[in-house]
C-alpha cells in the first residue's frame, strides 16, 4: 500500500469552489484546459502519483543513488517512477505550447505538482528540465531555443540550476567560478559548484546545466555574474550527442534526508574544457537565474504543504484505528472499554492543529499560484506580479518552517511506532528539513519580504493586499463575526509591526546599528503576515463551506464541517501570537547584538 495520502478534495475545493478558476479555464490564454479537462487531469495524476510515482519513495531512501567513476547510478525503482510521469505526458503540462507543452494554467500546474511532490519529492526533483527549457526559451537567442530548449522538451533532457559555491553559500555574489571568453557566445568555465540537485544521473541522455559564473572583467557582486548553458554532452550540428563536456560530479553528498535526490559537487574545467554558452548573449545572469529561483521557492512551499498534508492524513488514519486506553471521561472505571485514540482530547488537539495548518499552507500557495494565472490574464495590471512577489517569501519561508514543526505532531500521534521505519513519518521529517534551508533560508526569505517586497515598494502592494482583507473583515457573514473581529485586530497589529521595523530602518540612516533591531524581528514579521493571510483565506473558505452545507450530502457534509473547524481553530491558535510579536518588536533595544561573542 502506498505511503502517500492525497487530498484531492481540498485541492478541488480551493480551485473550483473558492478561487473559481473554472470561470476562466477554457478561455485564452488557457483554451486547452476547461474545468472538466482539469478535473480529469487531477483524478488521473492523483492515481499515478499515489501508485507508480510513490512506489520508489522508500527504496530511494534506503538505497540511494551512488557515484561510481564519475557517473551517478539511480535505483531502477526511481527510473520507473520517472517513467510513469513522463510516459503520461505530465511533464508537458506547464510548458508553453510553442515548446510542445499543453499550456496549462499555473494554478493547475502547481495543483498537479502537489501530488507528485507529496508522493515522492526526491524523485520529483529530477524533473527540472522543463523549467530550465522555459528559462532558455524566455531568455535565450532564437538559435539557443532551437538548439537547447526544444530538444530538452522533445527528448526529455534533464536540467539543473548551478548556483551555489562552498565558500559563498547564500552570498551568491561572492562566487569565484569564472568564464573565459572564446568566441561568439562560447566560454570556458572553471570552478566548483556545491549542493547541485540532480547534478548528475544516468536517467537522462543529456543534462543541461544553467550555470552562474563571473566573466573576465566582470564587476564584483551579483551584477558581475552571467548565466551559461552548459551541457553534460556536447550536441552536434545534426542534433546528435557528441563527447562529454568538462563538467563532472566529483562528490555526492551524504544527507540527513531526501537521500534519493542526487546532491552533487560539480567541477568545471578540471581535466578538459567546460564549454558554456552565454544565455541570450547578455550578461544579466542574476536576473535570469531568478526565474529559476522563484519557481524553485514556489516548489518548496508546495512540497512543504504536501508533505505535512500526507503526514497528517497518515496520523489521522492511525488515530482512527489504534485502540488504546479508556475514554478520559471513564478513567475511574477500570472496566471501561478501550477506545480509538482519536477519542482522546490531546490527540484530537494535535490532529486539528495539523489539519488547520496543512489546509492553511495549501490555501496560501494555491492563492499565490492563482496570481500567476492573473498575471497572464491581465498583463497590463502590475498588481498581480507585485502581490505574487509579496506572497512568495511566505509560501517558501513560513510553509517550510511550519511543516517541519508540525510533522513532529504527526509523529507524536503514532507514539513510539512513529519513530520507527514501519511508518513513513520519520522519513517525512528528514526529507522536510531541507525545505527551510535551500533556495534561501527562512531568515533570507524574511529579509527579502521586508526590504525588497515591502520597504522598497514603500508598502504600496502590502497596503492594497491588506485592503482586500479588510473588505472581508467588514463584509463577511454574522456566522463568523467573532473570527472576523480577531482577524481585523491581527491585521492592525501586523501593520504596526511593519511600521516599527520601518522606523528602525529609517533611524539606521543616521545610526547604522539600529538596523539590527529590524533584523531581529523580520522572521517574526514573516510569521505574522503569513498567519494573517492564511486566517483570511481559511475564513473565506469557511464562508463558502458554511453556505454549501445547506445542500451537502454524504462525505461532503464532514468535509465542509471540517473546513469551518479548520478556520476557527487556526484563528484561535495563530492570531493571538501576532500581537505578541508586534509588542516584542516595539520593545526591542538591541541588547543581543551588544552581547560579547564569548557569552554565547
Q: Locate 533 and state its grid cell.
A: 493571510
Residue 216 · residue 179 · CB < 8 Å = yes
Q: Are strands 186-197 and 263-268 parallel, antiparallel or unpaired?
A: antiparallel
* CA gap 117, 49 in Å, rounded: 9
Is 222 among the domain residues?
A: yes
SS3 502: helix
Is 138 among the domain residues?
A: no
Provide the CATH number for the domain around residue 36: 1.10.540
Higher pLDDT, 264 or 95: 264
Q: Is the pLDDT of residue 332 over 90?
A: no
Cβ atoms within 10 Å of 590's Cβ, excluding its own? 14
Both 111 and 198 in one domain: the answer is no
Is 117 among the domain residues?
A: yes
Q: Is the pLDDT of residue 143 over 90?
A: yes
Q: What local confidence, expressed as pLDDT, does residue 169 receive?
A: 79
Q: Which of 411, 431, 451 is the last residue of a domain?
A: 431
Q: At what angle do helices 555-574 and 522-548 cross, to 10 degrees?
A: 150
Both 542 and 447 in one domain: the answer is yes
Both 249 and 355 in one domain: the answer is no
Q: What local confidence, expressed as pLDDT, does residue 98 receive?
A: 85
Tens of pLDDT along 339-354?
999 999 999 999 999 9
Is 75 among the domain residues?
A: yes
Provide the CATH number for the domain around residue 372: 1.20.140.10
Tens of pLDDT along 243-287?
999 999 999 999 999 999 999 999 999 989 999 999 998 899 999
Q: Is the pLDDT of residue 1 over 90?
A: no
Both 227 and 343 in one domain: the answer is no
Q: What is the dihedral of CA 506, 507, 513, 517, to 10 degrees?
A: -70
Both 456 and 600 in one domain: the answer is yes
Q: What is the longest distance spanned by two Cα atoms in the chain?
A: 86
Tens of pLDDT along 387-440?
999 999 999 999 999 999 999 999 999 999 999 999 999 999 999 999 999 989
Q: What is the residue range of 251's domain?
A: 157-283
Q: Would you list the DSSP string of 521-569? A: SHHHHHHHHHHHHHHHHHHHHHHHHHHHGGG--THHHHHHHHHHHHHHH
CA-derived radius of gyration, the chain: 25
Is 133 among the domain residues?
A: no
Domain count, the chain: 4
Provide the CATH number for the domain around residue 272: 2.40.110.20
Both 404 and 532 in one domain: the answer is no
* CA gap 29, 586 in Å, rounded: 47
Nearest Cα neighbor of 449 from 366, 357, 383, 529 is: 529
* Averaged pLDDT for residues 73-102: 92
* CA gap 303, 297 in Å, rounded: 10
Give residue 304's pLDDT band: very low, low, confident or very high (50, 70, 90): very high
Alpha helices in 378-398 (DSSP H): 383-393
Which of left, alpha, beta for 190 (phi over 0: left; psi -120 to 50: alpha)?
Answer: beta
* CA gap 536, 578 in Å, rounded: 14
Q: What local confidence, expressed as pLDDT, does residue 134 receive?
A: 93
Q: What local confidence, expressed as pLDDT, does residue 506 receive?
A: 96
Residue 206 · residue 233 · CB < 8 Å = yes
Distance of CA 600 to the CA centre of its chain: 33
* CA gap 229, 240 in Å, rounded: 17
Distance of CA 332 to the CA centre of its chain: 48
From 200, 439, 531, 543, active-site residue: 439
Cβ atoms within 10 Å of 336's Cβ, excluding its own? 13
* CA gap 261, 513 in Å, rounded: 42
Q: Which of 101, 124, 147 is the last residue of a domain?
A: 124
Both 254 and 204 in one domain: the answer is yes
Both 332 and 362 in one domain: the answer is yes
* 260 burial type by CB count under 10 A (0-12 exposed, 13-18 middle, 19+ buried): buried
Is 291 among the domain residues?
A: no
Both 475 and 417 in one domain: the answer is no
Q: What local confidence, expressed as pLDDT, does residue 452 receive?
A: 96
Q: Which of 362, 396, 431 is the last residue of a domain?
A: 431
Is 231 among the domain residues?
A: yes
253 is catalytic: no
Q: Is the pLDDT of residue 172 over 90?
A: no
- Whole-number mean pLDDT of the chain? 96
Cβ atoms within 10 Å of 592's Cβ, excluding its own? 12
Both 161 and 61 in one domain: the answer is no
Both 303 and 405 in one domain: the answer is yes
Both 57 and 29 in one domain: the answer is yes
Is 389 among the domain residues?
A: yes
Amino acid at each position: 500500500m502506498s505511503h502517500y495520502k492525497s487530498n484531492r478534495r481540498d485541492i478541488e475545493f480551493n480551485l473550483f469552489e473558492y478561487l473559481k478558476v473554472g470561470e476562466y479555464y477554457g478561455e485564452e490564454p488557457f483554451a486547452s484546459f476547461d474545468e472538466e479537462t482539469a478535473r480529469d487531469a487531477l483524478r488521473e495524476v492523483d492515481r499515478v502519483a499515489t501508485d507508480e510515482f510513490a512506489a520508489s519513495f522508500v527504496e530511494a531512501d534506503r538505497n540511494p543513488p551512488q557515484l561510481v567513476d564519475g557517473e551517478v547510478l539511480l535505483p531502477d525503482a526511481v527510473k520507473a517512477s520517472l517513467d510513469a510521469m513522463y510516459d503520461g505526458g505530465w511533464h508537458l503540462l506547464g510548458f508553453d505550447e510553442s515548446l510542445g507543452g499543453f499550456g496549462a494554467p499555473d494554478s493547475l500546474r502547481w495543483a498537479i505538482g502537489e501530488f507528485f511532490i507529496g508522493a515522492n519529492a526526491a524523485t520529483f526533483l529530477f524533473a527540472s528540465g522543463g523549467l530550465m527549457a522555459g528559462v532558455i526559451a524566455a531568455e535565450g537567442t532564437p538559435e539557443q531555443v532551437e538548439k537547447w530548449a526544444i530538444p530538452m522538451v522533445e527528448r526529455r533532457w534533464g536540467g539543473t540550476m548551478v548556483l551555489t559555491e562552498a565558500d559563498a553559500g547564500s552570498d551568491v555574489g561572492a562566487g569565484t567560478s569564472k568564464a573565459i571568453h572564446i568566441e561568439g557566445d562560447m566560454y570556458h568555465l572553471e570552478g566548483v559548484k556545491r549542493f547541485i540537485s540532480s547534478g548528475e544521473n544516468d536517467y537522462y541522455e543529456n543534462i543541461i546545466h544553467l550555470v552562474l559564473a563571473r566573466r573576465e572583467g566582470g564587476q564584483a557582486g551579483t551584477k558581475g555574474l552571467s548565466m551559461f548553458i552548459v551541457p553534460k554532452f556536447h550536441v552536434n550540428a545534426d542534433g546528435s550527442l557528441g563527447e562529454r563536456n568538462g563538467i563532472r560530479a566529483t562528490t555526492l553528498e551524504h544527507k540527513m534526508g531526501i537521500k534519493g535526490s542526487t546532491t552533487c559537487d560539480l567541477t568545471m574545467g578540471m581535466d578538459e574544457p567546460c564549454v558554456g554558452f552565454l544565455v541570450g548573449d547578455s550578461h544579466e545572469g542574476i536576473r535570469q537565474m531568478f526565474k529559476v529561483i522563484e519557481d524553485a521557492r514556489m516548489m518548496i512551499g508546495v512540497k512543504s504543504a504536501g508533505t505535512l498534508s500526507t503526514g497528517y492524513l497518515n496520523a489521522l488514519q492511525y488515530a482512527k484505528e489504534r485502540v488504546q486506553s479508556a475514554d478520559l471521561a471513564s478513567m475511574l472505571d477500570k472496566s471501561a472499554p478501550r477506545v480509538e485514540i482519536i477519542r482522546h482530547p490531546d490527540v484530537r488537539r494535535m490532529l486539528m492543529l495539523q489539519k488547520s495548518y496543512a489546509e492553511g499552507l495549501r490555501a496560501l500557495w494555491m492563492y499565490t499560484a492563482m496570481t500567476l494565472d492573473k498575471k497572464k490574464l491581465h498583463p497590463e495590471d502590475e498588481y498581480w506580479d507585485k502581490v505574487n512577489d509579496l506572497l512568495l517569501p511566505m509560501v517558501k519561508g513560513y510553509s517550510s518552517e511550519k511543516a517541519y514543526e508540525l510533522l513532529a505532531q504527526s509523529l507524536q500521534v503514532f507514539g513510539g511506532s512513529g519513530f520507527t521505519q514501519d511508518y513513513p513519518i520519520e522519513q517525512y521529517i528528514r526529507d522536510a528539513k531541507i525545505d527551510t534551508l535551500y533556495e534561501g533560508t527562512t531568515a533570507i526569505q524574511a529579509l527579502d519580504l521586508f526590504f525588497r517586497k515591502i520597504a522598497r515598494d514603500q508598502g504600496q502592494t502590502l497596503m492594497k493586499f491588506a485592503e482586500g482583507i479588510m473588505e472581508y473583515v467588514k463584509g463577511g457573514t454574522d456566522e463568523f463575526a467573532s473570527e472576523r473581529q480577531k482577524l481585523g485586530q491581527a491585521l492592525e497589529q501586523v501593520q504596526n509591526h511593519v511600521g516599527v521595523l520601518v522606523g528602525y530602518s529609517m533611524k539606521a540612516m543616521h545610526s547604522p546599528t539600529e538596523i539590527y533591531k529590524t533584523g531581529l524581528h523580520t522572521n517574526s514579521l514573516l510569521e505574522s503576515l503569513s498567519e494573517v493571510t492564511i486566517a483570511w483565506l481559511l475564513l473565506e473558505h469557511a464562508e463558502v463551506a458554511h453556505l454549501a452545507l445547506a445542500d451537502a450530502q454524504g462525505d461532503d457534509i464532514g468535509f465542509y464541517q471540517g473546513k469551518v473547524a479548520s478556520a476557527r481553530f487556526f484563528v484561535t491558535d495563530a492570531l493571538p501570537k501576532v500581537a505578541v510579536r508586534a509588542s516584542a518588536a516595539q520593545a526591542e533595544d538591541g541588547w543581543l547584538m551588544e552581547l560579547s561573542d564569548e557569552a554565547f
